[in-house]
Structure 1
Amino acid sequence: MRPRGIFWPGVAGIASGALMLVALVVTYGNSPDYEGRNGLRETVEFYRDAGNRDLTEAMALVMLAAGLLFLFFLAALARVTASRSSLVLVGGILFVALTMIATIAGAIYAITASHTEAFVVTPGTGTVALLLLDVSYAGTVAAMVGAAVLLFAVWRASRTTGAVPQWLAWFGFVIAVLCLAGPFSAWLTVLLMALWTVLAGVVLVLRPPTEA
């Protein structure tokens, strides 16, 4: 039996994944190299540019919107994978919550510098930015643990009930395995998770509803 009401959640999944991809690609292409020898200097120069701060803030809003859309998509995905719905929900909610925390941590310095006159971008405050960027990446690593729970649950449901196409389940399985590399792979797996979300949304959109 195929559950009703999955078309719009599928659209939400496509939109969520697409917004995540846009935000992540833009952020990766427009961020300071804070881990290098001149990390502090480059970070300060980056945040002194009002355009960089505005773009960081805009991409944070895009990511937060993607997270809200993902929750709408997640409810339908849990219905489709009924045998593993609890794990899908737990993993998905953990993924969204930690992704939002990571997003806020990564953008709060730029937002504060742009909207608070008493806060000035200097080498002294730049160390705060370095800390927040590390916290942001740590949040992404933790978020991918939640994503791995969701993806393993979807894979298992597909093996036992055929809840989703096998190609989508195995793609998710590969992403989940890559998540085990933790801090070494989170930058990549979050991109793959966004792509998986788009594909899963397409699957829901194309899936016919249960006949009355």
Structure 2
Amino acid sequence: MASQNAQTPSSSPSPFASHPEPAPHRDLWSGIAGLVAGGLLIAGHILWMRTPDTSGRGAISNVVNFYSKDSNQVLAETSALMLLAAGLLFMFFLVALSRLAGNRSHLVLVGGTVFTVSLMVSAIAGNMFAITANASEVFRVGPDTALIAILLLDLAYGATIAAMVGAAVLLFAVWRVARESRAVPGWLGWFGFVVAVLSLGAPFSAWATPVLLGVWVLAAGVVLIMNARVAQRDEGQEPAVSPGTAD
């Protein structure tokens, strides 16, 4: 029995256990996605803000004069592409942000998903008239079709209101995480709190708050990138332990 115990081979570490999931690299790419998403959100929304005023008596003439220009039609298409790309990249960024939120990750995911879906609806609706006029040879911009543009622009603004309500849920959750733990910097949490409060007045502020949210996403992307770089540096400083050197 003693000889059998002496001949028991020592267990060697599994090759799968020696290669953990590269979380630092994962957060690095999520942070880069956040940077790009924030920049596209700001640029795309600024282009969308150029759309004509549809609340006054001269709404029909404003719409006809605006969409009759080929340059405005092209800018509308560009705005739609930017906002759609921003939404897709934001979802990739959202996953990493939810990991930082811990037990409030469900609020971050729900709020972020509502924001993304509503943003895409707004991007499509708000620019569909210009895209159709630019791509179709039978659709003409005129007083008889201007009412369609007014309806779509109002729908887009309503979707933007819904998007910012979802963003407010996300930002309030991140603010609470920043207060309860060090997973999120305090300044980023309070910045998000201010944007969330402004977003609650969405019927009056939705024309501007997406730009502020884009700035916040840029800042959060930088935080993710810095966290990933610090984690990579700490991994590189860990001493390597050979399996055969155990006492």
TM-score by length of 2: 0.81
Shift of 1:146: 0.5
Equivalent residue for 1:171, pick from 164, 182, 191 = 191
More relative contact order in 1 or in 2 (CA 8 Å, sep 6+)?
Answer: 1
* Alpha-carbon distance in structure 2 between the residues aligned to 1:130 and 1:49: 17
Paired position in structure 2 for 1:14: 35
Paired position in structure 1 for 2:152: 132
Paired position in structure 2 for 1:95: 115
Gaps of 5+ in 2: 1-22, 236-247
Paired position in structure 1 for 2:166: 146
Gaps of 5+ in 1: none
Please say if residues 154 and 169 of structure 1, whose CA atoms lie closer than 8 Å, have aligned partners that are also in contact. Answer: yes
The AA in structure 2 aligned to 1:111 is I
* Alpha-carbon distance in structure 1 between the residues aligned to 2:201 and 2:42: 21
Please say if residues 6 and 209 of structure 1, whose CA atoms lie closer than 8 Å, have aligned partners that are also in contact. Answer: no
Shift of 1:191: 1.0
The structure that is helix-richer by fraction is: 1
Q: What do residues 34-73 of structure 1 show as CA deviations (whole Å, max 9, x unaligned)?
A: 2233111010111111111111001110111111111110
Q: Once superposed, what is the RMSD of the aligned Cα atoms?
A: 1.3
Q: What do residues 113-162 of structure 1 show as CA deviations (whole Å, max 9, x unaligned)?
A: 11122211110110010011011001000100100010011111111122
* Alpha-carbon distance in structure 1 between the residues aligned to 2:55 and 2:77: 21
Shift of 1:33: 2.3
2:139 matches 1:123: no
| Count of matched residue positions in the alignment of Structure 1 and Structure 2 | 209
Q: What do residues 171-195 of structure 1 show as CA deviations (whole Å, max 9, x unaligned)?
A: 1011111111121111121111111
Percent of pairs with identical residues = 49
Equivalent residue for 1:189, pick from 209, 223, 228 = 209
